[in-house]
Structure 1
Amino acid sequence: MKKLFPYLLFIVLTNSAFSQIESGLLFGLTKGTTSEINAITGMEEGQILYNSDTKALLVYNGSTWVNTENSNWSLNGNATSNGTFLGTTNDVFMDLRSNNTSMLQLGRRQTLGLTQNYVDYNDNNQYVIHVKGSNGTSALQFQADAASFYKPMLFTTAEGNFRLKGSAAGTDFFEIGSNGTNNAGEVEFIIGNDGAEPFIFKRFDNRDGLLKELMRVQGSANSQNAAPRVGINTGQVANSTLQINGSVSTSIIRINQDITLTEEHHTVIMTGGRPDITLPDASSCIGRIYYVKNYCGRDTNISTYVNMKGDNKTELKDEKSYIFQSDGVEWQQLLKE
């Protein structure tokens, strides 16, 4: 009898393992619609029920009903419907990580701790996408299969600068961004690689649907030491350092009293009185040009200049016009009429 018992037990267990489960023996949970669940009172932490609207198991965490594992976002993809989302339902930021390093945070500016007392950074309720990293710098790069070298990206540097760099026509590149160190910042515009790639400024006209060139800055040739050229309304590389296909306007004033010329002046018309003119130090503005016309009715005085014969002079004759240019050492008279 003792030997028979183990065999009988084996047979019973085997039959139980392969027998069909009867639906009536399954354990069932309390079911309810979303509105019915929301109306329940007196819940205790750990209680479970089934939401017949969302087809999800809910557990009470002591303050609210939350989804259990059957509602979690799957690592193998998810079939969703309108209204589903990945994110938070309360005022905490959402954090996306790689290698346990925070890469992307989403939330209100205040919630993210990004509010500052500066214009455009002081709105607590502004929703922000915060790109992060582990070493104080971050980057956002875009796919560009046809770019041979310089894949387009937005990035920051260890000096606190923000830049945009990317491909141009496959093998060339452009870069725009801030540069420099504390209290010595600047903005750079860079184009490469060969010397003649242009910066072109255009406008779009919706009447004919065309882009129309306004100005271009371009190297003179495909060479390492190509000279810079600026063309306004040229439609092609300028033929000189500066080419303007159109009119030019400069500062012009009328005076009848003494004046000290600055970088704000260009043409001076002496119409009355007996005004004296003081020129700035020639070493401070090499290359600067002033036009002076005197018809005030008498000769007047001006700072020392070198006349057409090479002599130092300090007078402006009545009914005469002059052109003066700084050579970095002295003011040179270029014309007298």
Structure 2
Amino acid sequence: MTTSTSSTQASHASVKAGTPEDAFSHRLGAVADAVEAFLADRLGPEVQPGEIARPPRLMEAMRHAVLGGGKRLRPFLAVETARMLGGPDAGALAAGSAIELVHCYSLVHDDLPAMDNDDLRRGKPTVHRAYDEATAILVGDALQTLAFEILADSRWQTDAGVRSDLVLGLARASGLGGMVGGQLLDLGAEGRFGPIAVDVDDTLKLQAMKTGAILAFSVEAGAIVGGASPDERAALLRYGLALGQAFQIADDILDREASPEAMGKATGKDKEAGKATLVDRLGLDGARAECDRLVGVCEEAVSRWGTKAEILREAARFTVARKA
């Protein structure tokens, strides 16, 4: 952990004067490197206290699912929100890494034949293709439980109240009223369980649950670690909710326009599967306009922090401008 924390702190200290985009890109890369190191440590072969064994096939497949790819936007939001508030790097990095494990678990399960049936993720075979379906299911289970183990570990969060808030928040964001519930609504919107009419409000709700809840909690986790006041947490939650919605709309636009090579996975499958998206409801131009509006909501939500919030503003702009 010392290596990961010190590398993050060093990256903060080494940011040179330049454009906001330069600072953002530097920090995004630095946090991604720190998260990679933290997760690689957690996914090593050594048996940890309280464990009986670490099955080699399971550990190999977990590393396949987690390491060597991804922008690490969710942990980045946690780390940068805590940094803006003066919170500890070590606690924010651990919390963000736990959220990333939940995100990775969701991708492993989403890729399964019973769900989205994808063969590629981040430019490499999905876990059930590289191994098998049973192993992929167990990988998702193990990543989810490891996430909560990290959040509950006093090595990373010394304050019991902070640990409790993080565990409760991630459980709610990722569970039946958040990501998992949103995934079921998404399957229903495809017509999996019978004919259904899905309007704009229905689409917004399922996307806020499936994608937005975890992104919003990433910001809230940084606020918890950073000791934000209730009023500050409310402002940051507004930022996180708007960012989550913008991220999903941008993702839907990319699914229509980006190449599989750029995305590292198949594209065009959402339309093919009849998934509910705002691109269908608003059209491409309307969806882009909504993204721009949501960036404005994000910028207003963090205005009280002035220049300290510039990285979070850039994160919102990056979310809608990204090409992959």
Could you say which TM-score interval applies, normalised by the shorter chain?
Answer: under 0.3
Query: Could you say which structure has the higher helix fraction?
Result: 2
Query: Could you say which structure has the higher strand fraction?
Result: 1
Q: Which has the larger radius of gyration?
A: 1
TM-score, normalised to structure 2, is: 0.18
Which structure is higher in RCO with an 8 Å CA cutoff and minimum separation 6? 2
